[in-house]
Amino acid sequence: MTTRATSTFTIDTWEAKPYDERDGITLSRTHVVKTFQGDVEGHSTAELLMAGAREGSAAYVGFERIGGHVHGRAGSFLLHHSASMTRDAQAATWTIVPDSGTGDLAGVRGIARVIAEPDAGHTFTLDDDLDG
C-alpha cells in the first residue's frame, strides 16, 4: 500500500566545489546536509554532481542517505537524484534506491518530490510502499 509522507527540510550545509568553469557553465561537486521535520523526521547527507548553465538552468545527479523516522518507523534509505531545472521550474523527483532501506524501513520503495518554495523553504513528499 502506498502512503504519503509530507515534510519540510532545511539545508544545514551546502559545500559546492567547482571543478570546471568556462563559457558561463559551471560543473561542481556539492556536499549537502539537511534536517527534515514532519512525517519524515531526521537528517540526510548527499553528494551531488551539478551542472549550472547560463540563464539559471541546471541539472544534477547524486545520492542522498536519509536517516531517522518515516511515519514513526526508524531506519534509513537512499535516494537517487537525477533532475533538470530551469530558472522558472524548481521541482525535482527522486527514486528510492531498491533494497537500500534499513531497520523498520527495510524493503521501502517509492518516489520523493521536492518543491522549492518562494520563501526559500522546501516541501518534501515521499510516496512509499512499505509492507507491514
pLDDT tens for each residue of 5-46: 999 999 999 999 999 999 999 999 999 999 999 999 999 999
Query: Cβ distance 54 to 21 under 8 Å?
Result: no
pLDDT of residue 89: 64
In angstroms, rounded to a whole number, what is the distance separating the alpha carbons of residues 7 and 41? 8
Give long-range contacts, CB 8 A cutoff, 24+ apart: 49-55. Answer: 50/16, 50/26, 51/25, 51/26, 51/27, 52/25, 52/26, 52/27, 52/28, 53/24, 53/25, 54/24, 54/25, 55/86, 55/87
CA 5 – CA 111 distance, rounded (Å):
11
Find the range with the poorest average confidence among 28-32, 58-62, 100-104: 58-62
Over pLDDT 90: what percentage of the chain?
67
Across 72-98, average pLDDT: 87
pLDDT computed for residue 115 by the predictor = 78
Length in residues, the chain: 132
Q: What is the reported pTM? A: 0.89
CA distance 14 to 99: 28
pLDDT of residue 90: 64
Q: pLDDT at position 61, please?
A: 94
> Within 13 Å of residue 14, how many CA atoms lie on the same side as its CB?
3
What is the per-residue pLDDT for 114?
85
Q: What are phi and psi of 120, to 5 degrees?
A: 80, 5
Q: Which residue has the higher pLDDT, 32 or 58?
A: 32
The three three-digit cell numbers of residue 5, written as one number: 509522507
pLDDT band at 91 (very low <50, low <70, confident <90, very high): low
Query: Average pLDDT of the chain?
Result: 90
